Structure formats: structure tokens, C-alpha cells
Amino acid sequence: MTSTDFRPSFILGLLTTHGVDFVVIGGVAAMLHGSGRNTHDLDICFARDDANLTVLGRALIELEARLRRVDDDVPFVPDGATLRRVQTLTMDTSAGEFDILARPDGSPPYARLRQNAERYDLGAFAVLVASIDDLIAMKRAAGRPKDRADIGELQAIARLRGSGG
């Protein structure tokens, strides 16, 4: 797929329009909490019930999702059966890079991740964003240098919120 401008709001709006049950995680979640971090992809964790897998698949088709870093012409059919087997799926879409994760390392089970999440109004729609504590746990588990840097910033944001700052 050719390089496209990264448009996370478009992807999030489309997921919301389709009724997908998801929680925003990763760099975009950190940014929504107030991080100065820059990211080039959108990560979500998704509910794995049949109805949600169906609407997620429809949204992926509309986004023209293709498997990332797969040079061969591998057919990708994002139906419920395929998505049920997914733990992590990295894709290029018409709106940029998009990753879906069934249960990210360090994350609580989806129901608790969703319960802990904060609702962010993005204008035309609202999304659930992983709590700072859950984001920190996922970033600790990932352990990459960029994740370790994010942890300090997220902890500072949490302290400022706690002090009313």
C-alpha cells in the first residue's frame, strides 16, 4: 500500500460509526491524556464477541486494510473467524497505520480495561481511552525505549491530575 497521511480521527470515527467496541491504547491514548508524544500509528484493543468481530471486520474493509510488511499478495479477509484468531494485527489502511490487539501485554482482560477507560469527546464522536495506569502497565510490559520514556511522562500527567494541576 502506498504511504498515506496518518488520520487517526478518521479511523476512530469510522470504528465508532460501525459500532465497534474498542479501547484506544498506545501512543494515541497517551496523546489524548496530554502527552507530547508523536506517533505514526493507531492502536486499539477490541472486544472479541461475535457481533463486535463482524462490525470490526466491516470497518477494516471500508478502511481498505492490508497486512503491513507482507510483500506477497496474501489475501486478507477480516471476517469474524479470522479476527477471532488474532492476537495482534498490524495493518496499513487508507488512513494510515492501524494495529489491533486482542490483549496487549500488561493489559487487564478487556472487560476491566474498558471499565477502567476514560471517555474522550472528540467532537463528532467519543471514544474510550485506556486509563493512565493501564497504559503504564502495558508500556512496562512492552519495555521498548520509547515506552520507558512514555512511562515517566504518563506518571507526571497522573500526578498533575491528582493534585488538580
Helix (H) or strand (E) holding 142: helix 132-142
Task: Tell me whether residue 131 is in a domain.
Answer: yes
- Distance from C-alpha of 105 to C-alpha of 111, rounded to nearest angstrom: 15
Element holding 72 (H helix, E strand) = none
Q: Which three cell numbers stand for residue 65?
A: 486494510
- pLDDT for 56 beyond 60: yes
Question: What whole-number distance in Å separates Cα of residue 78 and Cα of residue 24?
Answer: 20
| H/E element, 90 | strand 88-93
Is residue 3 situated within a structural domain? Answer: no
Mean pLDDT for the stretch of residues 1-25: 90
CATH number at residue 17: 3.30.460.40
Stretch 132-158: mean pLDDT: 93
Q: Is residue 132 part of a domain?
A: yes
User: Within 13 Å and on the Cβ side, how many CA atoms surround 79?
Assistant: 3
Q: Structural domain of residue 99, as residue ranges?
A: 8-159
In a domain, 164, yes or no: no
**What tens digit of pLDDT does each residue of 23-39 get?**
999 999 999 999 998 89
- Domain assignment present for residue 148? The answer is yes
The number of distinct structural domains making up the chain is: 1
Across 103-124, average pLDDT: 96
Residue at 35 is within a domain: yes
> Model pTM?
0.93
Indicate left, alpha or beta for 143 from its phi (over 0: left) and psi (-120 to 50: alpha): left
- Is 113 among the domain residues? yes
Whether 68 is covered by a domain: the verdict is: yes
What torsion, rounded to 10 degrees, do the Cα atoms 34, 36, 38, 39 define?
Answer: -30
For residue range 59-111, list pLDDT tens digits in order: 999 999 999 987 667 678 899 999 999 999 999 999 999 999 999 999 999 99
